[in-house]
Structure 1
Amino acid sequence: MKVLLVDDEKHVREGIMLLGEWEKFGIETIYEAENGAEAINFIQKFQPEIIFTDMKMPKMDGIQLLEWMKEHYPYCKTVVLTGYDDYHYMRKAIHYGSVDYLLKPIDPEILNTTLEHALAEWKKEEAIRKKNKSSSQLINKMKPAYRDRMLTQLMNNESMKENLYEEFGFQVSQSYTVALVKVSGKTIGEFHGDRNLAYFTILNVINEILTENECGTGFRYLSNKGEIIIIFWKKIEQIEELLKSMYKQLRKTFNISCPIALGESVNKISELLESYSRAKHVILNSNILDEKGERVYLQEIKSETALPNLMGYASEIELAVQAGEIGAFEEMIERVTKELKESRFLSLKLLLNFEKEYQVICNRWLKKYQLSFSVVEKVEKQIDPYFDQNGSFQFEKYIERKKREISLFLKKVKRGSGKKNTNIIYEIETYLQENCNRDVKLQEIAEQFYLSREYISRKFKQEFNVNISDYVVKIRMNKAKTLLKNSQLKIYEIAEMIGYQDDKYFRKVFKRIEGVTPNEYRTSC
């Protein structure tokens, strides 16, 4: 806390400094000024909380100082000092919000009582200011999320109050067109993994162009991850130009590629979802092998030849797995690759299907040999690393990666097929360790290992002297401790990484198991 004493008489300032119980009230610094003009410089530079000021001074008197403070520094508390028991000064002090009016010579008891009162008033008002600021920040933070939620509901044919249309900048029109912007994991990575920052930045660019042209609005589509929706209600004939402008601006400013697809024009708000579905279809069928500079797709592109799928090679895959040699696979991989290269076409939809089929085939064989495997919840994450900064799919790198994965897979199957009398409970333990970042149900384990839930529970407890749920907690806590020791990740990020969506619950569990909070544990390391 800081105090400023303003008086043209030095002995008066020195007397106040001697009489005040500054340490008692937490006053750490006391500044001195000889007049109002000098006081303003101190106020602007040091921002004291309490100011004692004389009323009659050269250059700028106390009344002029109080007047300036009311306009430029209203949060400070002032106490007026004067040797004149004059109603005029008292009235001015009250008018400008001074805490009190003290006559010289200053009585020590009155001085300290006034100081205590002034500090109490300042702290009370400061608490209110902080609360209001916090509330304001929360409201501003919630506004985009609220807007996204309401417009997502509108897209999904849920009604919205008419007064909200204007609030969200949405205009009622006779026709609408929806465009879909894809935001990949790679794009979010360009913003250091901050998903909210990525969406905020991309939407800023999009909505700036839309606002300038008064033709639409963009928002984060909460029904599907990785999607931004743009609703156009004007300038339909200029949509292609506007979408290309958005794509170019994002590439130029942030070096990110966000493919954009356009849906069909519809006549009602209730039909927006149809336009979106068309845009989704267009983007899923876009050719990711295309080297085009602007990934803006206005219509579906179809391959002129029938494209391969892995399930069509099921019998060959079975023979290759039984042979257990990568060479048996490579011939088949080369055939699939050749077909795609000759057609010069690979859609996002086809690639996602390849990944899904690949996971199904691998897991089926791993299950056959009772080997553990991780469940891939989002196949998009598997393909994101193979798109370059221009949005082009690096097909050769993807194929080479798959060859290495298949080689490891075959080695695992080979080892598994040669095992006899393997203790299945240890395989379940490995499965839990590999999937500890999500909730694994007992029924899931039973289905994966072809055993009854009762048998798994009983045998696991016999083997490890703990039930499965407590064992998973133990794994998570050990992983959490490692992350707390060796990373700068935030607590909520660590909670998410080990399978807790609610970081408060994670803190509670950590405290119960470890006896200290995550922050305390990190500090002690």
Structure 2
Amino acid sequence: MKALIVDDEKHVRDGIKILADWEQNGIREIYEAANGEEAIKLIKTIRPEIIFSDMKMPKMDGTQLLEWIKENQPSSKTIVVTGYDDYHYMRKAIHFGSTDYLLKPIEPEILNQTLEKAVKEWMKEEADRQRKETSSLLINEMKPVYRDRKLTQLMNSDSLQKDLYKEFGWLKQSRDYIAALVRVNGKTIEAFQADRDLTYFTILNIINEIMKENGSGIGFRYLSQKGEIVLIFWDKFELVEEIVVRIYKTLKNMLDISCPIAVGKVVQNSSKLIDSYHHARKVLLNRNILPDKRIRVYLSDIEAAPSLKSLIVYSSDIEMAIQTGEIRAFEELMGRIEQDITEMEYLSVRQVINLENEYMVISNKWFEHYNIPFKAPEDIEERVDLFFDSNGTFSLEKYKKRKKREITIFLKKVKKRTQQKGNNIITDIEKYLQENFDRDVKLQEISDHFYISREYISRKFKQEFNENISDYIVRIRMEKAKSLLKNSQLKIYEIANMIGYQDDKYFRKVFKKVERITPNEYRAENVKQ
């Protein structure tokens, strides 16, 4: 395996090279680039599996590089490394599929945990890619599967393969094309008893029967992306809308399934088919899923979707809701988020996917915070598919109920984990106070140190010791002071400083209040004895 480190600061690149356990993770070659432009030249040549990238660099910054990688080298796993703790950069990293987001200065343990995670994810995905390729080779004698494989290769290739001219008579390099995209979601596959191959075989038979009537297009299963059928049109573009509407209606009437269809832009060359596909995919992801439409066909001139709303801006509200430990706090918050994302009565698939991605990031953070096992779903789009019915209608209510159930389960786990920790936590807190009695220990510090809410600590400590934490610290200090006062060599102000009081007058006042005599009187009595 190969790794590429992209950063305009050489000492950062050197630091990553030194700190990372490359051999342990099977990485034998490490390359460097000082900016995005250098990185792209290297990526085209070496095709690295793992890419570390800074966000702020000259010539081409990290955001532009991540976007290029997602479009041109999507199999690589990217890890963002930056000195800017900014949710804007975090959103960009999430949007372009980065494995993780590391802040400078880099901690070796976190760096190697992230590297190990990225390598494991790449290896798992590579195994899936190899399995799909092997499967295609084994059954390439079957015409539909062979067609799907060849046309998928055509979509992803910059150069036209000569053998495809003979196999597909309609294929000419210099002619206009349009790609359309048909989404096959989980509900559709369930209608075929979860037999994915049977689903595609049946749907494509219907699609290609309709396409053949006009002799101007072909449909195939797009093997590079789960849940997609691509239609290629090379003639009679004025009939494209009519054809795709007929396809949608026929699938709905014959199979009682809803497969939304989006039409891409016209391109002037077969090598640009992928651009038309990406445009169609953008149209499909940006479609408004709130209206109850009878025909779910979306054209390339569809009105632009509103800008994406971020869940990360609610991080502090989520933290407060978690600290309450009550689902009621989340119900109010979810209402505000719903109002925000459905503004203008518009909700796109892209917005829901973005929310899911950010929800996973935030969930992972809190599960790790409470040391609770957490497994993120492998396919976010398939997860979103669960909330579309057979008519293609998205149920926002079901989606909210699912989130509420997930959060409720999380809160129960947190409560159980907190109770388990609570059995021994107060003893640990007492020990912590005894070790730090000579400085001003705040309740928030204890909360941060032990990952327990301030309210819980205060209540539990009072139950255990029948006094609050501040009184307990005073008592410890006074016991220590009495011990030190028996040493006639120490001055009163020195003893005050040793037990955490900078003002010896205040110390004398507290001592007299607690012990009923002054420090000098206590010393006189005990030294005499």
Give the residue type in structure 2 aligned to 1:155. M
Deviations 1:430-484 (A, max 9, x none): xxxxxxxxxxxxxxxxxxxxxxxxxxxxxxxxxxxxxxxxxxxxxxxxxxxxxxx
1:144 aligns with: 144
Residues 1:232 and 1:418: Cα distance change in structure 2 (over 3 Å): same
What is the SS of the residue equivalent to 1:208?
Answer: helix
Distance 1:408 1:216 in 2: 49
State the distance in 1 between where 2:382 and 2:163 align. 40
CA-CA distance at 1:168 after TM superposition:
3.9
8 Å CA contact retained: 2:286, 2:305 = no
2:322 is aligned with 1:321: yes
1:406 CA drift (Å): 0.9
Question: How many angstroms does 1:417 deviate by?
Answer: 3.0
Once the two structures are superposed, what CA deviation does each residue of 1:139-188 show, in whole Å capped at 9, x if it has no partner?
78632222111111111125454453443454326200110111111111
For the residues of structure 2 that align with 1:259 and 1:422, how far apart are their CA atoms? 55
Corresponding residue for residue 304 of structure 2: 302
What's the RMSD between the two structures over aligned residues? 2.2
Distance 1:158 1:152 in 2: 12
Letter in 2 for 1:291: D
Q: Is contact 1:325–1:410 with CA below 8 Å preserved after alignment?
A: yes
Q: Which residue of 1 aligns with 2:471?
A: none
Question: For 2:396 and 2:225, how far apart are their aligned partners in 1?
Answer: 26
Aligned to 1:182: 183
Count of paired positions: 285
Contact map agreement 2:175 2:269 (CA 8 A) in 1: yes
Q: Offset at 1:404?
A: 1.6
For 2:171, the equivalent position in structure 1 comes to: 171
Do residues 291 (structure 1) and 276 (structure 2) align? no
Question: Cα distance 1:381–1:303, how it changes in 2: closer, same or farther (>3 A)?
Answer: closer
Work out which of the two has the higher radius of gyration on C-alpha atoms and give 1 or 2: 1
Partner of 2:412: 411
Q: SS where residue 157 of structure 2 aligns?
A: coil
Equivalent residue, structure 1, for 2:224: 223
8 Å contact kept, 2:139–2:145 = no
* Higher mean C-alpha displacement, 358-367 vs 259-268: 358-367
The aligned amino acid for 2:238 is E
Measured in 2, the distance between the counterparts of 1:287 and 1:407 equals: 29
Secondary structure (helix, strand or coil) at the match of 1:386 reads: coil
Q: Check conservation: 1:308, 1:336, Cα contact below 8 A.
A: no
The aligned counterpart of 1:102 is none
Identity %: 52
Task: Give 3-state SS (helix, strand or coil) of 1:262's partner.
Answer: strand
Matches within 5 A, 1:122-141: none
Q: Is the 8 A contact 1:219 1:229 kept in 2?
A: yes
Distance 1:193 1:227 in 2: 16
Counterpart Cα distance in 2 of 1:410 and 1:169: 61
Partner Cα distance (1:422, 1:166) in 2 = 75
Unmatched runs of 5 consecutive residues or more in structure 1 = 1-137, 424-525
Match of 1:157 in 2: 157
Letter aligned with residue 304 of structure 2:
K
- Counterpart in 2 of 1:210? 211
TM-score (norm 1): 0.52
Shift in Å at residue 308 of structure 1? 3.2
Partner of 1:339: 340
1:180 is paired with a residue whose SS is: strand
In 2, the alpha carbon distance for the partners of 1:198 and 1:169 equals 27
**Aligned 8 A contact 1:282 1:301 in 2:** no
Aligned partner of residue 386 in structure 2, secondary structure? helix
Deviations 1:181-232 (A, max 9, x none): 1111111111111111111111111111111100011111111111111110
Q: Which runs of 5+ in 2 are unaligned?
A: 1-137, 425-529
Tell me the distance in 2 between the aligned counterparts of 1:422 and 1:234. 74
Q: Which amino acid aligns with 2:285?
A: L
- 1:242 corresponds in structure 2 to 243
Match of 1:446 in 2: none
